[in-house]
Amino acid sequence: MNAALLIYFAGVSGNFQGLIGFSAATLAIASVFLFMGFFIEESEVCLKLVKFTLPLAFILGLTASLIPNQTTILLMAGAKVTEDIVTSPDSKEIGGKILKIINQKLDEQVKK
Protein backbone atom coordinates (compact mmCIF):
# COMPACT_ATOMS: atom_id res chain seq x y z
CA MET A 1 0.00 0.00 0.00
CA ASN A 2 1.19 3.48 -0.76
CA ALA A 3 2.70 5.26 2.26
CA ALA A 4 0.81 8.47 1.43
CA LEU A 5 -2.50 6.61 1.65
CA LEU A 6 -1.49 5.14 5.00
CA ILE A 7 -0.70 8.60 6.32
CA TYR A 8 -4.05 9.90 5.06
CA PHE A 9 -5.88 6.96 6.66
CA ALA A 10 -4.04 7.68 9.91
CA GLY A 11 -5.63 11.11 9.96
CA VAL A 12 -9.18 9.86 9.51
CA SER A 13 -8.98 6.55 11.37
CA GLY A 14 -10.08 8.02 14.70
CA ASN A 15 -13.17 9.59 13.16
CA PHE A 16 -13.98 6.42 11.26
CA GLN A 17 -13.51 4.28 14.36
CA GLY A 18 -15.76 6.60 16.36
CA LEU A 19 -18.49 6.55 13.73
CA ILE A 20 -18.53 2.77 13.51
CA GLY A 21 -18.44 2.44 17.31
CA PHE A 22 -21.31 4.89 17.69
CA SER A 23 -23.32 2.97 15.08
CA ALA A 24 -22.66 -0.30 16.90
CA ALA A 25 -23.76 1.17 20.24
CA THR A 26 -26.89 2.67 18.68
CA LEU A 27 -27.84 -0.64 17.09
CA ALA A 28 -27.21 -2.51 20.34
CA ILE A 29 -29.49 -0.12 22.24
CA ALA A 30 -32.12 -0.37 19.50
CA SER A 31 -31.93 -4.17 19.77
CA VAL A 32 -32.69 -3.97 23.49
CA PHE A 33 -35.72 -1.77 22.89
CA LEU A 34 -36.92 -4.01 20.06
CA PHE A 35 -36.50 -7.05 22.28
CA MET A 36 -38.55 -5.34 25.01
CA GLY A 37 -41.12 -4.43 22.35
CA PHE A 38 -41.41 -8.09 21.41
CA PHE A 39 -42.50 -8.94 24.95
CA ILE A 40 -44.89 -6.01 25.20
CA GLU A 41 -46.63 -6.40 21.83
CA GLU A 42 -45.55 -9.97 20.96
CA SER A 43 -44.75 -8.72 17.48
CA GLU A 44 -42.77 -11.00 15.19
CA VAL A 45 -41.47 -7.94 13.38
CA CYS A 46 -39.65 -6.84 16.53
CA LEU A 47 -38.06 -10.27 16.89
CA LYS A 48 -36.96 -10.27 13.24
CA LEU A 49 -35.43 -6.82 13.66
CA VAL A 50 -33.58 -7.97 16.78
CA LYS A 51 -32.20 -10.94 14.83
CA PHE A 52 -30.90 -8.45 12.26
CA THR A 53 -29.69 -5.55 14.40
CA LEU A 54 -27.94 -7.48 17.16
CA PRO A 55 -25.50 -9.37 14.90
CA LEU A 56 -24.93 -6.20 12.89
CA ALA A 57 -24.12 -4.30 16.09
CA PHE A 58 -21.66 -7.04 17.07
CA ILE A 59 -19.97 -6.96 13.65
CA LEU A 60 -19.71 -3.17 13.70
CA GLY A 61 -18.31 -3.22 17.23
CA LEU A 62 -15.72 -5.81 16.25
CA THR A 63 -14.82 -3.77 13.17
CA ALA A 64 -14.40 -0.62 15.26
CA SER A 65 -12.09 -2.43 17.65
CA LEU A 66 -9.94 -3.79 14.81
CA ILE A 67 -9.27 -0.40 13.20
CA PRO A 68 -5.74 0.61 14.20
CA ASN A 69 -5.17 3.97 15.86
CA GLN A 70 -3.21 6.83 14.31
CA THR A 71 0.12 5.89 15.89
CA THR A 72 -0.06 2.32 14.62
CA ILE A 73 -0.87 3.44 11.09
CA LEU A 74 2.00 5.94 11.09
CA LEU A 75 4.37 3.22 12.31
CA MET A 76 3.13 0.99 9.48
CA ALA A 77 3.82 3.78 6.99
CA GLY A 78 7.31 4.28 8.43
CA ALA A 79 8.00 0.56 8.24
CA LYS A 80 6.87 0.50 4.61
CA VAL A 81 9.11 3.42 3.66
CA THR A 82 12.03 1.88 5.55
CA GLU A 83 11.50 -1.44 3.79
CA ASP A 84 11.43 0.28 0.41
CA ILE A 85 14.68 2.08 1.20
CA VAL A 86 16.47 -1.00 2.52
CA THR A 87 15.45 -3.22 -0.38
CA SER A 88 16.29 -0.71 -3.12
CA PRO A 89 19.32 -1.60 -5.28
CA ASP A 90 20.93 1.80 -4.62
CA SER A 91 20.91 1.32 -0.87
CA LYS A 92 22.45 -2.14 -1.22
CA GLU A 93 25.24 -0.70 -3.34
CA ILE A 94 25.84 2.20 -0.95
CA GLY A 95 25.68 -0.16 2.04
CA GLY A 96 28.34 -2.35 0.46
CA LYS A 97 30.60 0.65 -0.12
CA ILE A 98 30.14 1.85 3.45
CA LEU A 99 31.06 -1.57 4.79
CA LYS A 100 34.22 -1.59 2.68
CA ILE A 101 35.23 1.84 4.01
CA ILE A 102 34.54 0.81 7.60
CA ASN A 103 36.58 -2.39 7.16
CA GLN A 104 39.47 -0.44 5.66
CA LYS A 105 39.44 2.08 8.52
CA LEU A 106 39.27 -0.73 11.09
CA ASP A 107 42.20 -2.52 9.41
CA GLU A 108 44.19 0.72 9.52
CA GLN A 109 43.45 1.15 13.21
CA VAL A 110 44.44 -2.45 13.97
CA LYS A 111 47.79 -1.99 12.17
CA LYS A 112 48.59 1.09 14.26
pLDDT of residue 65: 92
How many domains is the chain partitioned into structurally? 1
Residue 58: pLDDT over 90: yes
Give 30-49 pLDDT, tens digit per residue: 999 888 888 888 888 888 88
Question: Which is more confident, 81 or 26?
Answer: 26
The reply to whether 107 falls in a domain is no
Residue 1, pLDDT score: 63
What is the average pLDDT value for the chain, to the nearest integer? Answer: 87
Is the pLDDT assigned to residue 59 strictly greater than 90? yes
Domain that holds residue 46: 3-86
Do the domain assignments include residue 101? no
DSSP result, the chain: --HHHHHHHHHHHHHHHHHHHHHHHHHHHHHHHHHHHHHHH--HHHHHHHHHHHHHHHHHHHHHHHS--HHHHHHHHHHHHHHHHHHSHHHHHHHHHHHHHHHHHHHHHHH-
